[in-house]
Structure 1
Amino acid sequence: MAAGGSSIYKGSDLIHDYSCSKCEENYLNTEAQHFCSGCEHYLCDKCVNLHNGYHNKHTVYGRGDIQKWVGFSLDRCDVHGDKLTVHCDDHQELCCSVCVALNHRQCYSISHLPDLAKGILKTAEYKQLSGTVDSIRGRLDELGNAMMIDQASLKDSHKNIIAKIKSFRYKINKILDRLEKKTVEQLDGLVEDLEKTIKYDLESCLNMNDQLKTIMEKLQQTTGKHKDTKSYIWFRKCQNKLNEVKSRMQEIQKMPIELIRFDSDESILPFLSNLNNFGNVDNGHSVPVRSAAHMYKALGSTNYSVRMEEEKTCCIVGICELPSGEVVIADQANNRVKLLNNQYQVTDHSDLPRYLHDLCLTADDVIAVAVDDRHYIYKYNKHEIHFLSVTRGKIATLRMFTTHMDCRSIAHNQGQLYISSGNALKKFTVGGIPVKTIYEDMSCKGTVVKCAVSPDGKVIYVTNNTKRELITLNEFGQVLFKFKDPELQRLSGLCVSPSGLMFVCGRKSNTVLQMDRDGRLKLATVARKAYGLCVPWSVYFSEQTSSLIIGNYRQDQIIVVKLC
């Protein structure tokens, strides 16, 4: 090590473990005795006095804290603290002289960093780095949001199980206090362990996000004579960190979601005195992979008129989008299906019997329309499903079939039609053959009105307008969850996007809510009266434009709400 404070011209062969950054700018080679973590500069005794006069609040470490110098330095080896000078092409690693001596003597290709750094700032890969980091950070945010939802779900499960325990406990007598205490302790212990796991993964995501943010901030602040070289070093470190983050994200996403359940053992009643607890509390995995939740917020809205000449006031009861970006709407007031172009202008229409209640996309260019007309005086019922094709901006009638049930809503999934009648949900083939009744509630009118199906067909959503509930069913019609919310009054429109995003309207509350995929948690209220909602009746989420398309009751405009 050279004597502290000695300065010679840069061209000298004298090598310091750390050289003064400010002296280097003046072509002097001076050994550093101090390091500023704020400036990330190495400083000699002379330069540190000048530095402290300008930056008296910065933290400066001396030689006694030299272990803290490593890791702050842009151009220093994280392992040995020496200056990074070469790149091992065989191992794809940034190396100092010690790295080369210890680990890379047999390597075939060693490149000098200044040679590799030439032109790095102009390369497409370097210019795209900021966007790549932003994308990964966005995915980390989404993954964090998903884990926070899992955390809330875990707490809900905990509350529900406590309620089940209490209910089961009520059936027996006070001598079971000891058993109840043991069962609750078992549950709380399991919840605590699971929460620790989720908290660890969440903190890991937040930490990785902060690290990427810090790297990009340091990269953007890189200045000085050796900007290219320093930028290349940060670029390589950022790439390494991205690989580490991606690997960690894959590990987290492959982890099963931890849920808990409680199965009461009814057979214990005759044998209470011989048992240790009420039942078994453990964690059940709901799905093998955690899916990040995309939560949206509104940026603004625009109204588009869809009323044609000599028409009555419109009432848009159904909306869907074609792969071309064209939009198809069902206007109940005028008994018309209308085709809108990408600017939401009416370009064609098809007249149908009254009354239109809903429509859905069944294939790339085929629309199924639910038509239902009941006349109590003349005593006739008309329950029909009409199929229309859209080709080159024109709507054409294909065929239709009749049903023996009311047709209030229609959805399509994997070649099957799901039709709700107001009290039941039934599955049909696209040819009109009944398959089965999935769900039925005859307790009163309006128990099964609107319906929608998840992309994989495993989850079905229906609205109970009488009880003002969103109901989630499995594919066999079993009720999984029921959801109520003050911001969801008098449910109306319902939609599920091709990627599984789920939205539901409240026509009295003038809101559109984004729900999680289970239909049990509200992720966000994405549209309100302030955006023009006035008795919203239908809704569709366009993934092509990241927009909600909403039809109000008896209004001539559709509302397009831009989301982010």
Structure 2
Amino acid sequence: MAVSGKKASKQFSSSTTSMASDEDLQIYCQPCDEEGPRLPAHGYCTDCKEHLCKNCFTAHKVSRLSKHHTLQDATNMPKVLQQPSTSIHTGQSDVLTTPCLKHPQEMIKFYCNDHKKLLCSVCVTLEHQATSCKVDYIPDISGDIIDSKQYQDILKTLNHTSDQFQQMVEDVKNMTNKSNSSLKDALAAIKKFRQEINQRLDELERQAEDAAKGIEQENNKHLKAAETTYEDITKSLKTSSDNIKQLNTSKQANKLFMELKLAEKTIQNVEGKTQQLLSYDIKEHNFRSNDVILNFLKTEKSLGTLSHKTFHKECQSVQIKSRQTSHARKISVETSKDEYICYITGMTLLTPGLLIITDYNNDAVKMVDISSQSVSDQLQLDDIPWDITTVTSTELAVTLPDKQTIQFISISSNKLIKKHTVKVDGECYGISCYQGKLVVSFLNPAKLQIFDMNGTILTTIDGKNIFKYPWYITCNRSSIYVSDWDMKTVTRLNWQGDVIGSYSGMSDPRGMSLSDDGTVFVCDWERNVIEEISGDCSTGKVVLQDLKRPWAVCWCGETKKLYYSCNALDAKYDNFIHIYKLS
């Protein structure tokens, strides 16, 4: 089989070489001429610039690496031998020399758009077939990577991630100092209480001190680990940033492309380490004396207890700033496929220019192009959808409450494509994704469940005495927010299912969206307003009023725009996505 880039044999080294005999005037298969018997040419590949025998010509059409090449038959092929092209990318200063981790003898040359992986030819053949994956040859797609938006965005994200991690370590340090300080106060209280009783309490006092010092040692150990982790990650991020800058400066597009993809993985790893770092509960301690010990000193076995409250590492009380609002425009989402008036119950931003919405009445998911102000694609579902969330940059998840199913949808070439489904054990409504975990709200009975991407239930939170109709849900690193139109509340829980806040200043809360600074935008359908509440659910402020039954809402931090839908049973409102600029 012909392989692009092979050199012609010496006797066919030039298209202008004079042939000494009739045999030499015959055009032969160049690949076979190098490694096997000389066979007459049956055709020609314009990409490889090689003449091919019948077997090589046939194989060339089915090989994954050459099936898209342009072939010419014997009638149309060049009648003189052509010089093979060494590379269509000879202007690039770098070459593909990075070995594959799975197959060290092979170089990375391809990129799978579906799995976001760098691949060698063996990976492509064994794991990423054309029938299931969209694979590109790196030199074919890396031409515009130098000084590209992706290059700028990755650098910006690397720097932002480094700053965020530094701030987190500072927060942990401050909380540790406060925790240690509270322990000292508790120990002082223990000593004061100790003075009121006799020498027999010496042993119990030492036990209490040892317990407190043990906690302090664990705190300091965690702080030291956090600082060490930060130093390691900072070095890694800086190395990645420096490499990206150097490769960009030296115009090494292939290596820059791969380095950027590796940087994306590094950023994801940093986020995972951040979660691990913050999983350690740092507590504030105080001492509560045991008064019974004064009367029953001989029978009591403890001097008292160290009670605590956990520091919340995110969503502390935030003063909601005043915002300037202006109506930007509205976009019609009605299409020729629709049978009924639109009822937009869910929406999520895939990119600042691409909004994905669920149309309950028309059993559809629609892709809205913000720049063209139109629906660019519509996917019909098997049943009515309710809410939608972004899972990855190319994947979405939609709840189908009547079918008790979560439908996964991918996006390829600006088209919505149905993928797999996950069956759940209830009427699923609200859905939100954070770092590979799906949080879903249910009715009849009311509850929350946390899933991994395979549909495995990680946590179930019983909604008894908490929710009645938890229609919508949104989440971040430390909090899960649930809007309940019957309870007239927005409830905040931690990821263990404990209620840690509640806002009851609304009449009929519906759709929600988190802002970039941790506040929550909530549609109040009955009051015709959109309200912004603080991350700890302590305060709220109306940001948009005199609306027409606002239902679903979505915030774009990059453009500072708020998108919302209406359910007024009136086509002049419900068939549109309404956009406001908030600053």
Structure 2 length normalisation: TM-score?
0.45
Structure 1 length normalisation: TM-score?
0.46
